[in-house]
């Protein structure tokens, strides 16, 4: 009974909510001709479909890692992913061991391993495959939640600057010029020192530096649409500014914004590794490819070289980012043939 | 044009004040002067009087707005004052020592990247529509999907450790510095290659489909002249915008590369200062960073006007 | 008349599109004689511009390509030339001017550079001589202050001025043949007339041949001695301009002429050609005009009409004039 009760937590509800919103938005979009056409074009693009499947697999793994429940009151919650590994009898070892090895590596007297590890184990004896899969969760949160923070901020500021012009435009332009003038890495370091480590704090830091680019884009697009005939016509019919912005201009901005977010997602996932390197990344104990790659700096200097940690984490990161990039390009080509990359 | 530049420089002043305010507020959110004093005083358990004295010598006892006015004024006059850290070294001395390695790495990788990427983009554009083109663009996407960190790690491991072409890290001044900055520059160029090359290719292809290219061909101009004279001159406009807007990105490069390869540049200085919560140093570095960025923005506009006769700066 | 300077035979220029092969130019034959102006008239999408680009071999690649045919110039088939040999001819023997003077000049190069370049690449003039010739050329095309204009950039000039610069570039090497692709379409009506007169007088002065691509029969009447009417990738009628205007034979040509406003038919409703040109990926099996033709016969739906020579200078592709398709021709209800 307690198991069921511990399932009903906010952290378990959140991923379901996100997935549900996403699917709802997709079904709504499918009814609009522009998006229906875009979906059809993506459907014809094999590379885009493969990329989408890859992204979906990562998202699924991330989901299994976000559902956690307690077995009884005294134990900490354990995620579905960890339970799968526990059920497969993947145990913690003493220290490093190579993939498929039977003995540990790097000890003067190698110990026999308790189990069998597809991608070996890391310094703390954890199974590298499990650690790598746990990284999906972090990557998805950093990409997804940061985009979620950036978008409303950029839309609000960008649209009001572009639409109202004059003083609001001057103020907003001033703010984003100030933010853009500080090299973003400095800002991120500083913010993370203020906020302290943590996945959500990383999202906030990345969001506060990342909104500027999207905001500038939205401002420019709004400026373009503001003087179009259909906006003038709406004005002539007596539509309020809010109505023009939300009903007329916003739908026209969405394609550009969605393309920009999709292509920006991969950049956000990549910046996690850089923050980890600077020691302000995800705290230890949370799955993180950044920490795994960062750790490889010392591991490569060891004898024998510990390469599997670096390889698994960077391959996992690489495949996700590659799929995101391919999908983003396909999406851009499908939505706006004028912006085609080829 | 000169009037325009003057106005842009004047506009830079409120921006820089904004940057100072931003850093100031951010700093006071992080920490308090008492913490700083405790951290930086050599005594193990400093007395309240010692702390007060420290605050007084570093000016943290004044009202906040006075502190802000005083420090901002100092920054604008390039009087950076003394470090908050142990010993209270003069910041300007340290900056004078460490700007050169940073500048060497940043400028060399900037110029090398521009040349390499533009050439590569032109070559790819020359073979547009062929298998070479699609192979190259796919390779670019693949390279873009690799984290900067991996480029650094693998670069150091292969060039430094396995092949022993370059030292794995460190720095010596003078001509020997070239030996040490070679590896960081190569890493920076390779890591930045894909995204810029792909972008430049798009810029060039946009131009190739313009009507004036058809006119040029109708004149009987060779394909390479069309590409290198007519198209390149027009594509220069977006390329300039892109390269100069990448200047803030150079800081990321310098912070990572200097830190990793243990080069005593500004990036390294800054990361140390942030870790030690040395506000005076952070302030100075952020100010310089913003200044360089703003100068870069102004240079973009000027370059823009020089490259495109249709642009009038007013 | 002497032998033709340019002879186009059975030219096919096709495009690969997502919806299939578009046969934009599909079997075009014509001859251009020394010193004459030949007009190719047609609606947009009839393939007239692509015909001109095919002569220069500047069809937009890789989608477009010349499928078959031959283009004889000075007894050589241009389609047999290498890319380099063809390049040597472009701009020197055969020059071209385009429809859009606003975008057809390179925005970042001065007028002088763009004219001088045309001479430099062909070695007809270099250095100071080329610069002097550039000024002369601008003078010749009726630009009043050439010394000043050479230093200017295209965006500083008006549309008419830009088209004059285009002409100066095209004529800087004294070409044998000038291809003018809708040279006045984008210009104001008053400027149009000036440019046409300029082209006509320069042609006479330089003794070159001109192939004028246009959709405007008014322009044809003004400058062209002979005229080819193009429809759906093929030439349907060829005749001396005066005869064509007076006595059009092909139902399409008659429709075109009837749909022009004219003083003689003042007060009457204008004739309209029903329907549109079919898409070039799906030309009809028979006569391509059949669906819109008021004189449609059974044979038109299934058999593509061949050329019928009406006189040494006139030919028409229509079953009405083909003695093999013996059925009685139903006369056109004269719209006028």
Q: pLDDT tens track of chain B, all 314 residues?
A: 788 888 888 888 888 888 888 888 877 776 677 777 776 666 567 777 777 777 777 777 777 777 778 777 777 777 777 777 666 678 888 888 888 888 888 888 888 998 999 999 999 988 887 889 889 999 999 998 888 888 888 888 888 777 777 777 777 777 777 778 888 888 889 988 998 898 899 888 888 888 899 899 998 888 888 888 888 888 888 888 788 777 777 777 778 888 888 888 888 888 788 777 777 788 788 888 888 888 888 888 888 888 888 777 66
Sequence-distant contacts of B49-53: CB under 8 A, at least 24 apart: none
- Residue among A186, A193, A341 minimizing CB distance to B270: A186
Q: Choose among B153, B277, B289: nearest Cβ to A183.
A: B289
CATH number, residue B112: 1.10.3720.10
Q: For B26, which of A184, A194, A276 is closest by C-beta distance? A: A194
How many structural domains does chain B have?
A: 1
Find residues 206-245 of chain B whose CB sits inside 8 Å of chain A.
none
The tokens for B56 are: 């007084």
Structure tokens at C265: 């038919």
Region for residue B186 given its phi and psi (left: phi exceeds 0; alpha: psi -120 to 50; beta: otherwise): alpha
Q: What is the DSSP letter of C144?
A: S
CA distance B229 to chain C (A): 10
Q: Is B14 on the interface with A (CB under 8 A)?
A: yes
CB atoms within 10 A of CB B24: 18
What is the pLDDT, as a whole number, of residue A338? 54
Whether B140 is in a domain gets the answer: yes
Is B51 within a domain? no
Does residue B41 belong to any structural domain of this protein? no
Q: Measuring CA to CA, which residue among B298, B296, B203 is closest to residue B251? A: B296
How many Cα atoms occupy the beta-carbon half-sphere of C246 within 13 Å? Answer: 5
- DSSP-derived 3-state class of residue B282: helix
**Touch A-C: 3+ C-beta pairs under 8 A:** no
Whether C90 and chain B come into contact, CB under 8 Å, resolves to yes
The rounded distance, in Å, linking the Cα atoms of B56 and B36 is 13
Contacts of B235 (CB under 8 A, 6+ apart): B200, B203, B204, B206, B207
Q: Is B271 on the interface with A (CB under 8 A)?
A: yes
Q: CB distance B148–A274 less than 8 Å?
A: yes
Question: Which pTM was predicted?
Answer: 0.82
C166 vs B contacts (CB less than 8 Å): 215
Q: CA A14 to CA A11: how far, in whole Å?
A: 5
The reply to whether B291 falls in a domain is no
Task: Establish if B47 belongs to a structural domain.
Answer: no
Assigned domain for B123 exists: yes
Per-residue model confidence (pLDDT) at position C328:
43
Contact A201, A283 (CB under 8 A): no
3-state secondary structure chain A: CHHHHHHCCHHHHHHHHHHHHHHHHHHHHHCCHHHHHHHHHHHHCHHHHHHHHHHHHHHHHHHHHHCEECCCCCCCCEEHHHHHHHHCCCCCCCCCECCCCCECCCCCCCCECCCCCCCCECCCCCEHHHHHHHHHHHHHHHHHHHHHHHHHHHHHHHHHHHHHCHHHHHHHHHHHHHHHHCCHHHHHHHHHHHHCCCHHHHHHHHHHHHHHHHHHHHHHHHHHHHCCHHHHHHHHCCCCHHHHHHHHHHHHHHHHHHHHHHHHHHHHHHHHHHHHHCCCCCCCCCCCHHHHHHHHHHHCCCCCCCCHHHHHHHHHHHHHHHHHHHHHHHHHHHHCHHHCCC
Q: What is the rounded distance in angstroms from the CA atom of residue B198 to the CA atom of residue B136?
A: 9
Its ipTM equals 0.83
Rounded Cα–Cα distance for residues A154 and A162 (Å) = 11
Residues of A within 8 A of B256 (CB-CB) are 185, 274, 277-278
User: What is the structure's pLDDT at B302?
Assistant: 82
In angstroms, the CA A156 to CA A148 distance is 13
Chain C residues with CB under 8 Å of B234 CB are 106-108
- pLDDT given at position B135: 92
Helix (H, G, I), strand (E, B) or coil at B182: helix
Residue A193, token pair as written in the block: 């020192």
Is C270 at the interface with chain B, CB within 8 A?
A: no
Cα(B121)–Cα(B111) distance, integer angstroms: 15
Positions in chain C short of pLDDT 70: 1-2, 263-265, 323-336
Q: Strand C20-33 relative to strand C4-17: parallel, antiparallel, unpaired?
A: antiparallel
Chains in touch with A (≥3 Cβ pairs < 8 A): B
For chains A and B, CB pairs below 8 A equal 128
CA dihedral over A126, A130, A131, A132, signed as positive or negative: positive
Based on DSSP, count helices (H) and strands (E) in chain C, helices before strands: 11, 12
Residues 6+ away with beta carbon under 8 Å from A18:
A144
> Between A180, A274, A314, which is nearest B256 by CB?
A274
Q: Distance between CA atoms of B102 and B106, rounded to whole angstroms? A: 6
Which has the closest alpha carbon to A272: A188, A191, A150, A212?
A188
Asked whether at least 3 C-beta pairs link B and A within 8 Å, the reply is yes
C108 touches chain B (CB under 8 A): yes
Q: pLDDT digits over C111-123, tens only?
A: 999 999 988 888 8
Give B282's contacts in chain A (Cβ within 8 Å): 186, 190
If DSSP codes are grouped into helix, strand and coil, which group holds residue B197? helix
Window B:177-206, CB contacts with A under 8 Å: 198, 202, 205
Domain of B262? Answer: 97-266
A-chain residue closest to B125, CA distance: A342
What pLDDT does A161 receive?
Answer: 87
| Tokens standing for residue A183 | 């090299």
Task: For residue B307, give how far its alpha carbon lies from the nearest alpha carbon of chain C (Å).
Answer: 7
What are the two backbone dihedrals, phi and then psi, of residue C315, each rounded to the nearest 5 degrees?
Answer: -145, 155
CA distance B132 to chain C (A): 15
Nearest to B230 among C61, C106, C122 (CB): C106
Contact B212 C103 (CB under 8 A): yes
CB-based contacts of B314, cutoff 8 Å, min separation 6: B4
Task: Assign C330 to helix, strand or coil.
Answer: coil
Contacts B237 to C, Cβ<8 Å: 108
Residue of A181, A275, A280 to mutate for B, most B C-beta atoms under 10 A: A181
Ramachandran bin of C330, using left for φ above 0, alpha for ψ from -120 to 50, beta for the remaining angles:
beta
Per the CB < 8 A criterion, the answer to whether A121 and A95 are in contact is yes
Tokens of A292: 């795994």
Question: CA-to-CA distance for C60 and B227, rounded, in angstroms?
Answer: 16
Interface test with A, best of B147, B246, B273 (most A CBs within 10 A): B147
Facing B18 at nearest CB: one of A174, A186, A322: A174
**Whole-angstrom distance between the N-terminal and C-terminal Cα of chain C?**
35
Residues of B in contact with C104 (CB under 8 A): 211-212, 214-215
CB-based contact, B295 to chain A, within 8 Å: no
* C window 38-57, beta carbon within 8 A of B: 56
Query: Is C285 at the interface with chain B, CB within 8 A?
Result: no
Nearest to C15 by CA among C66, C64, C61: C64
- Quote the minimal CA–CA distance from B62 to chain A in Å: 23
Q: Which stretches of chain A score pLDDT less than 70?
A: 1-6, 8, 336-342
Closest-approach residue (CA) in chain B for C118:
B219
Distances, alpha carbon A274 to alpha carbons A125, A282, B152, in Å: 25, 11, 11
Give the nearest partner residue to A182 out of B19, B205, B271, using CB atoms: B19
Using the Cβ of C153 and the Cβ atoms of chain B, whether some distance falls under 8 Å is answered with: yes
Q: C155 CB near a chain B CB, below 8 Å?
A: yes
Q: Is residue B159 part of a domain?
A: yes
A172 close to B (CB below 8 A) = no
Q: Does B286 touch chain A (CB under 8 A)?
A: yes
Asked if A162 and A222 touch (Cβ cutoff 8 Å), the reply is yes
B76 is written with which tokens? 């604008």
- Smallest CA–CA distance, residue B29 to chain A, in Å, is 6
| Four-CA torsion A8, A10, A15, A20, nearest 10 degrees | 80
Cβ distance C107 to B212 less than 8 Å, yes or no, reads yes
What are the beta bridge partners of residue C68? Answer: C12
The one-character DSSP state at C109 is: S
Name the DSSP class of C8.
Answer: E
Interchain CB distance below 8 Å, C117 and B129: no
Tell me, yes or no, if B172 comes closer than 8 A to chain A by beta carbon.
Answer: no
Residue B14 lies in a domain: no
């Amino acid at each position: 009974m307690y198991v069921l009760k511990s399932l009903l937590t906010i952290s378990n509800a959140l991923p379901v909510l996100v997935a549900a919103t996403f699917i709802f938005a997709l079904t709504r979009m499918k009814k609009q001709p522009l998006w229906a056409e875009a979906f059809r074009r993506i459907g014809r693009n094999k590379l885009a479909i493969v990329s989408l499947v890859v992204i979906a697999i990562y998202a699924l793994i991330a989901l299994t890692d976000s559902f956690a429940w307690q077995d009884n009151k005294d134990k900490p919650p354990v995620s579905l992913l960890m339970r799968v590994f526990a059920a497969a009898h993947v145990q913690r070892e003493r220290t490093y061991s190579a993939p498929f090895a039977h003995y540990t590596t790097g000890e003067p007297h190698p110990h026999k391993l308790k189990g069998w590890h597809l991608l070996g184990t890391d310094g703390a004896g954890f199974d590298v495959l499990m650690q790598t899969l746990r990284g999906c969760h972090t990557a998805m949160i950093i990409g997804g939640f940061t985009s979620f923070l950036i978008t409303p901020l950029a839309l609000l500021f960008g649209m009001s600057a572009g639409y109202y012009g004059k003083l609001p435009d001057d103020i907003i332009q001033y703010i984003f010029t100030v933010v853009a003038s500080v090299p973003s890495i400095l800002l991120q370091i500083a913010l993370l020192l203020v906020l302290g480590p943590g996945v959500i704090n990383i999202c906030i830091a990345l969001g506060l530096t990342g909104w500027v680019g999207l905001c500038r884009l939205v401002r420019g697009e709004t400026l373009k649409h503001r003087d179009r005939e259909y906006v003038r016509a709406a004005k002539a019919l007596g539509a309020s500014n809010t109505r023009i912005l939300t009903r007329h201009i916003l739908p026209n901005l969405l394609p550009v914004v969605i393309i920009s977010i999709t292509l920006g997602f991969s950049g956000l996932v990549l910046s996690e590794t850089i923050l980890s390197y600077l020691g302000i990344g995800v705290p230890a104990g949370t799955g993180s490819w950044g920490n795994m790659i960062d750790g490889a700096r010392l591991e490569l200097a060891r004898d024998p070289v510990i390469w599997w940690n670096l390889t698994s984490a960077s391959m996992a990161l690489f495949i996700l980012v590659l799929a995101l990039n391919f999908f983003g390009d396909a999406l851009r080509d499908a939505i706006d043939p004028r912006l085609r990359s080829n | 044009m000169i009037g325009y530049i003057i106005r842009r420089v004047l506009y830079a002043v409120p921006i820089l004040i904004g940057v100072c305010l931003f850093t100031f507020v951010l700093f006071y959110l992080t920490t308090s002067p008492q913490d700083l004093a405790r951290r930086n005083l050599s005594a193990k358990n400093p007395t309240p009087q010692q702390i007060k004295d420290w605050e007084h010598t570093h000016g943290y006892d004044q009202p906040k707005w006075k502190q802000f006015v005083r420090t901002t004024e100092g920054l604008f006059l390039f009087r950076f004052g003394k470090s908050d850290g142990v010993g209270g070294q003069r910041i300007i001395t340290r900056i004078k020592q460490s700007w050169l390695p940073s500048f060497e790495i940043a400028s060399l990788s900037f110029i090398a990247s521009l040349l390499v990427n533009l050439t590569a983009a032109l070559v790819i554009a020359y073979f547009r529509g062929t298998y070479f083109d699609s192979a190259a663009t796919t390779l670019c996407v693949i390279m873009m999907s690799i984290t900067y960190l991996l480029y650094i790690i693998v670069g150091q491991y292969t060039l430094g450790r396995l092949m022993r072409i370059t030292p794995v890290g460190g720095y010596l001044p003078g001509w020997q510095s070239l030996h040490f900055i070679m590896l960081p520059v190569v890493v920076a160029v390779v890591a930045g290659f894909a995204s810029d090359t792909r972008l430049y290719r798009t810029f060039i292809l946009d131009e190739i489909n313009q009507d004036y290219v058809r006119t040029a061909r109708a004149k009987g101009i060779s394909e390479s002249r069309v590409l290198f004279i007519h198209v390149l001159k027009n594509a220069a406009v977006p390329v300039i915008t892109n390269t100069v807007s990448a200047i803030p990105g150079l800081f990321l490069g310098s912070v990572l590369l200097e830190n990793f390869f243990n080069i005593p540049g500004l990036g390294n200085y800054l990361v140390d200062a942030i870790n030690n919560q040395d506000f005076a140093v952070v302030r100075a570095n952020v100010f310089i960073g913003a200044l360089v960025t703003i100068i870069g923005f102004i240079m973009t506009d000027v370059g823009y006007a020089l490259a495109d006769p249709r642009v009038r700066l007013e | 008349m002497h032998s033709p300077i340019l002879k186009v035979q059975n030219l096919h220029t096709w495009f690969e599109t997502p919806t299939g092969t578009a046969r934009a130019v599909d079997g075009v034959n014509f001859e251009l004689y020394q010193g004459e102006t030949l007009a190719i008239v047609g609606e947009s999408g009839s393939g007239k511009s692509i015909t001109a680009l095919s002569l220069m071999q500047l069809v937009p690649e890789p989608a477009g390509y010349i499928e078959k045919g031959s283009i004889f110039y000075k007894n050589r088939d241009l389609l047999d030339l290498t890319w380099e040999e063809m390049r040597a001819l472009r701009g020197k023997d055969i020059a071209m001017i385009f429809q859009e003077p606003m975008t057809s000049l390179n925005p970042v190069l001065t007028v002088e550079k763009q004219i001088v370049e045309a001479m430099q690449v062909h070695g007809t003039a270099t250095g100071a001589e080329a610069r002097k010739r550039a000024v002369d050329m601008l003078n010749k095309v009726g630009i009043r202050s050439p010394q000043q204009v050479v230093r200017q950039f295209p965006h500083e000039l008006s549309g008419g001025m830009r088209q004059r610069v285009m002409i100066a570039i095209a004529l800087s090497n004294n070409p044998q043949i000038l291809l003018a692709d809708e040279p006045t379409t984008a210009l104001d009506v008053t400027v149009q007339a000036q440019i046409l007169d300029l082209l006509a007088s320069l042609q006479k002065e330089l003794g070159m041949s001109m192939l004028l691509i246009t959709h405007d029969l008014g322009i044809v009447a003004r400058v062209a001695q002979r005229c080819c009417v193009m429809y759906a990738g093929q030439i349907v009628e060829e005749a001396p301009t005066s005869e064509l205007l007076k006595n059009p034979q092909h139902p399409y040509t008659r429709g075109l002429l009837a749909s022009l406003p004219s003083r003689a038919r003042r007060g009457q409703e204008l004739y309209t050609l029903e329907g549109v040109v079919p898409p070039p990926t799906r030309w009809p099996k028979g006569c391509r005009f059949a669906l819109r033709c008021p004189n449609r016969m059974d044979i038109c739906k299934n058999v593509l009409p061949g050329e019928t020579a009406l006189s040494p200078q006139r030919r028409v592709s229509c079953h009405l004039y083909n003695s093999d398709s013996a059925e009685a021709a139903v006369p056109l209800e004269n719209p006028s």
